[in-house]
Structure 1
Amino acid sequence: MTLRVAIVGGGPAGIYAADILAKSDADVSIDILERLPAPFGLVRYGVAPDHPRIKEIVKALQRVLARSEVRFLGNVEFGVDVKLDDLRSFYDAVIVATGAMADRDLGIPGEELPGSWGAADFVSWYDGHPDVPRTWPLDAASVAVVGVGNVALDVARVLAKKGEEMLPTDVPANVYEGLVAKTTTDVHVFARRGPAYAKFSPLELRELAHSPNVDVIVHPEGFEVDEHSMEHIEKNKQAKMVLNTLSNWVGREPAGKPHRIHLHFLEQPVAITGGDRVEGFRTERTRLVGDGSVEGTGEITDWDVQAVYRAVGYRSTELPDFPFDERAAVIPNDEGRVLDLDGTPIAGTYVTGWIKRGPVGLIGHTKSDAAQTVEHLLAETAETALEREPQAVSDYFAERGVDVVEFAHWENLDRHEIALGEAEGRTRIKVVEREDMLRASR
């Protein structure tokens, strides 16, 4: 009997789960349901356009979607076009792999002011996500970015670089025009802890200094390393490499480039200030306590900025018909098996990726995550599969007028974007409008 599995979410987590299922000894048939007309999730809509190296992972993901056991069903929104009860009637098991796309809050006064933004929304804009506005206000001369992860670096780099530097990438015309017109000259990146605890990857950090138009300035105030910091980096190779790079930059004289990225350590957010919009950012100097944590010193600094971007982590959002842990922002689960609010497993329902464990780890970490979930799924459902007809799902969407994008349609869109790029000497130009995506896919 063929085991029919639905995977909700067409990003890396969902595609890795499909790959592991397809390569298992079980006779499986897998449908990946994705609400956008294109697959690949954060690889397409969360990786900065000037990072084509990371986007190489798309080639591996595309090979999975081309497998005979796997069917891609894009432009299908869970909770709108299909509900959990419907999926349970068509499939033996359902895996949720919807990731995390919302921004975590700072929890400080003034966060609601115009000019205070979540990094995820900005990333979605410059990556040409079809569900966000086509314009972005980039009229701030000085900007604050809060966070010490790779997303914070991406935001800082995109804000600081000249728009013309993005032209060789896949950015659509509206994004390129917005970046060319921006007036930002200084981007201040703030870290609550010391440099030894920065979450940047070494490669991402070094890339900050690659632009011919951007000086990277590491301010010596707050650049402190104590005994615990040294113990930490001795156990963490990446942290040691990051600290070495930062140490080489401390006190380095700026080269007089037109734009600057400032890195400030031991500064924690206190408030975003302003009347009708952001007019400043207030921080408190912190000090190392000796155990990896910090405490406030009471020393306050007001920074003259006109926009603030918070890049302190992503957050998953609740799905219809599924329990949700608001505090942890995940679907409650035991190693991928979905649990009801009373801790009882819900038969045939599973999770993988960030909606399972929270938004931590890199793309590659989702492979082991998916393997754990799939192991439980196969152990619990392989012997209970029912006779199900794959065409029934297609008939269901056809009856409801859902314009489903299958893998062949995505390949049409893919070729169209590549052709748009070739016409201008670029690798690709991303299509933004959903209707344009659907039209090109046909």
Structure 2
Amino acid sequence: MASFLKLRWISKSFSTLSSTPLRICVVGSGPAGFYTAEKLLKAHGSVDVDIIDRLPTPFGLVRSGVAPDHPETKIVINQFSRVAQNERCSFIGNVSVGSSITLPELREMYNGVVLAYGAESDRSLGIPGEELADIYAAREFVWWYNGHPDCRNLAPDLKSSDTAVILGQGNVALDVARILLRPTAELARTDIASHALAALEESTIRKVYLVGRRGPVQAACTAKELREILGIKDLVIHIKQADLVTTPADEIEMKNNRIRRRVYELLSKAVTAGHASVPGQRELHFVFFHKPDRFLESDDRSGRLGSVRLEKTTLKGDESMKQVAVGTGVYKDISCGLALKSIGYKSVAIDGLPFDNYKGIVPNLGGRVLANASLGDMQYETGLYVCGWLKRGPTGIIATNLYCAEETIACVSEDINKGVLSSKSVKPGRKGMLELLDSRNTRVVPFDAWEKIDLEEKRLGNLKNKPREKLATREELLKIAGK
């Protein structure tokens, strides 16, 4: 049998076979995946749900995306754990769609498949010098300090310069800046990965520049995230007074958007409260009305980053349309040893899946995957659905996936009620998938094996006065899961 496979799993599969339930597979165990499973289980007592994930660990961005100093955001894991412990639900980790099993194979084994695997790639700036060393996607950096196995060996250089440039001013950009600037004594009490904490303790970075194409009124962050970084002890905030001058179009934007008004007010207070920095003190510089033009190599021509060239922008448009940043032909360079691109995540396609490469999403209508999205020919892929970032793009907060899942499950329910998905078509489901994975020597990780990982991480964390000490390699995770 497949490694870590439990006898109760097999008996569970056989016991449900006679009652011929509908079998649904959810690909991805982040918020979108778990909300989808939860809604399915509540709506249909005759549906069995299997959640698969390419990692040995569940919970997706709640584990690997939420900042370590935001433990309150991770409480949703308790809710997701109850879903996984439902007798009609199973979590099956360490299964990658594409290499462990294909999408066509899943569709043959299940009555329906819901794809909720999120966005695990990044948008590109498409500017010169982007290939230089010391330039990373913010996602990679976030995965690195959160102990994601794919970025365990990222090893960003935090000791060759005192300056980092972050391109973007959304919540992820603020998270990254906060981790770079926050006292490590405070981070040491979180579940930050030990390798990241050790690197941050030796970091020489004292200045972080947050660069935005537009102005403070259009900053993409929330007031909560902004308030938190502005409140870091002994951090000097730099904002140019001239950048806070608003136009009539800005005023209308703020009148129509309470969050933008609050963000602008916080930034305005921060500039009036600013004071001169002293040597060695940490600084956060908000750079508005600039866009990246190119990355410049260091003077020693070593293939490493030396500076970022920015082009001054101005906003075009009025209150009747979105204000767009356009270049002015005026440039300036910021010398730095680290650049992080926080310009958006991007989903990746898998074989057998319709995909819109430009938008980075699966073409869909309300969650039903479209076989052909051209006008006048709206054909659905029977039994194939999508949820989360893969459905709508990388926007929103964790709770946004709840409403997204409700919309998708409404489509699934409609198809069940209309007989589009029918238990008369008996599918092998979990039993068939596990047999196939076993024949390919895939080491699957059920939820009770994850619980062993969970206990071990908490035990190790307790030794260091941390909530948990994350195991950050697949080898470590699989070893503990197999005990």
Q: Does 1:420 align with 2:460?
A: yes
Secondary structure of 1:222's aligned partner: helix
| CA offset digits 1:78-118 (Å, max 9, x no partner) | 11111122212221000100101212112221111112211
Q: Distance in 2 between matches of 1:183 and 1:246?
A: 26
Q: CA deviation at 1:68?
A: 1.8
1:358 aligned partner: 393
Distance 1:166 1:19, change over 3 A: same
* Alignment match, 2:12: none
Structure 2 match to 1:98: 117
SS in 2 for 1:346: strand
Q: 1:26: how far off?
A: 4.5
Q: 1:4 to 1:150 in 2, by over 3 A?
A: same
Once residues 327 and 34 of structure 1 are traced to their aligned partners in structure 2, the CA distance between those partners, rounded to angstroms, is: 25
- Taking the aligned partners of 1:440 and 1:223, their CA distance within structure 2 comes to 53
1:435 pairs with 451, 469, 475, which one?
475
1:17-62: CA deviation from partner (whole Å, max 9, x where unpaired)? 0010011045110000100011111111111111112112222222
- 8 Å Cα contact 1:130-1:432 kept in structure 2: yes
Cα separation, 1, equivalents of 2:170 and 2:26? 29
For 1:178, the equivalent position in structure 2 comes to 199
Give 1:221 deviation, angstroms.
Answer: 4.0
Which position in structure 1 is the counterpart of 2:131?
A: 112
- Would the aligned equivalents of 2:372 and 2:380 in 1 still touch at CA under 8 Å? no
Q: How many residues align?
A: 442
Equivalent residue for 2:294? Answer: 271
Distance 1:413 1:213 in 2: 38
For the 8 Å contact 1:234–1:240, the answer to whether it is kept is yes
Among 434, 453, 456, the alignment partner of 1:394 is: 434
**Quick one: distance in 2 between partners of 1:369 and 1:84?**
22
Residue equivalent to 2:218: 197
* Offset from partner CA, 1:119-146 (integer Å, 9 cap, x none): 1111111111111243222123111111
State the SS of the aligned residue for 2:150. Answer: coil
On the 8 A contact 1:223/1:265 being kept in 2, the answer is no
Alpha-carbon shift at residue 297 of structure 1 (Å): 2.6
Does the 8 A contact of 2:236 with 2:275 survive in 1?
Answer: no
State the 4+ residue runs in structure 1 displaced beyond 4 angstroms: none
Alignment of 1:132-151 (within 5 A): 132-134=151-153, 135-139=155-159, 140-151=161-172
1:61-83 C-alpha deviation (Å, 9 max, x unpaired): 22221222211000111111111
SS at match of 1:253: coil
For 2:293, the aligned partner's letter is: V
| Aligned residue type for 2:308 | F
- Partner Cα separation in structure 2 for residue 77 and residue 325 of structure 1: 21
Whether contact under 8 Å (1:221, 1:265) holds in the other structure is no
Look up the SS of the partner of 2:180 in the other structure.
helix
Match of 2:309 in 1: 282
Cα distance between partner residues in 1 of 2:406 and 2:70: 28
Residue 348 (structure 1) aligned with residue 383 (structure 2)? yes
For the pair 1:155 / 2:181, whether they are aligned, the reply is no
Q: Does 1:10 align with 2:29?
A: yes
Matching residue within 175, 191, 212 for 2:233: 212
Matched, 1:260 2:283: yes
Q: Is contact 1:332–1:356 with CA below 8 Å preserved after alignment?
A: yes
Q: TM-score, normalised by structure 1?
A: 0.96
Aligned 1:314-329 pairs, distance under 5 A: 314-329=345-360
Unaligned runs of 5+ in 1: none
After superposing the two structures, state which structure 1 stretch, 225-234 or 392-401, moved more: 392-401
In structure 2, C-alpha distance between the alignment counterparts of 1:311 and 1:35, rounded to whole Å = 24
Is the CA contact 2:134–2:156 (under 8 Å) kept in the aligned structure 1? no
The Cα shift of 1:290 comes to: 4.6
Equivalent in the alignment of 2:3:
none
2:49 to 14, 21, 30: 30
**Contact 1:162 1:213 (C-alpha < 8 Å) held by counterparts:** no
Measured in 2, the distance between the counterparts of 1:330 and 1:90 equals 24
Q: Which one of 403, 408, 421 corresponds to residue 448 of structure 2?
A: 408
Whole-angstrom CA distance in 1 between matches of 2:245 and 2:394: 28
2 CA distance for matches of 1:163 and 1:104? 30
Offset, 1:293: 2.3
54, 57, 63: which is aligned to 2:82?
Answer: 63
Comparing 311-320 and 210-219, the one that deviates more: 210-219
Q: How far did 1:13 drift?
A: 0.4
SS in 2 for 1:408: helix
Identity %: 34
How much does 1:294 deviate? Answer: 3.0
- What is the CA–CA distance in structure 2 between the aligned matches of 1:250 and 1:194, rounded to whole Å? 14
Amino acid corresponding to residue 422 of structure 1 in structure 2: N
1:283-337 Cα shifts (integer Å, max 9, x gaps): 1222233522233332221112222111011111111221211101111112211
Mark the CA change 1:80 to 1:142 in structure 2 (over 3 Å): closer, same or farther: same
Please show how residues 222-237 of structure 1 align to structure 2 within 5 Å. Answer: 222-237=243-258
The separation in 2 between residues aligned to 1:293 and 1:401, in whole angstroms, is 53
SS at match of 2:185: helix
Residue 128 of structure 1 corresponds to 147
Q: Which amino acid aligns with 2:180?
A: L
TM-score of the aligned structures, taking structure 2 as reference length? 0.88
Look up the equivalent residue of 2:189 and give its one-letter code. Answer: P
Native 8 Å contact 2:152 2:472 kept in 1: no
**Paired AA for residue 132 in structure 1:** C
Comparing 217-226 with 23-32, greater Cα deviation is found at 217-226
What amino acid does structure 2 have at the position aligned with 1:189?
Answer: L
Distance 2:246 2:327 in 1: 17
Q: CA 1:200–1:320 in 2, change beyond 3 Å: closer, same or farther?
A: same
Letter in 2 for 1:260: E
What's the CA shift string for 1:376-407, capped at 9, x where partnerless? 11222453223334423222222222111111
Amino acid at match of 2:245: E
2:122 matches 1:82: no
Structure 2 residues not aligned, in runs of 5+: 1-19
Aligned-partner Cα distance in 2 for 1:42–1:329: 18
Q: Distance in 2 between matches of 1:391 and 1:165?
A: 47
One-letter identity of the residue aligned with 1:37: P
Q: 1:162–1:179: 8 Å Cα contact kept in structure 2? A: no
The residue identity in structure 2 corresponding to 1:253 is H
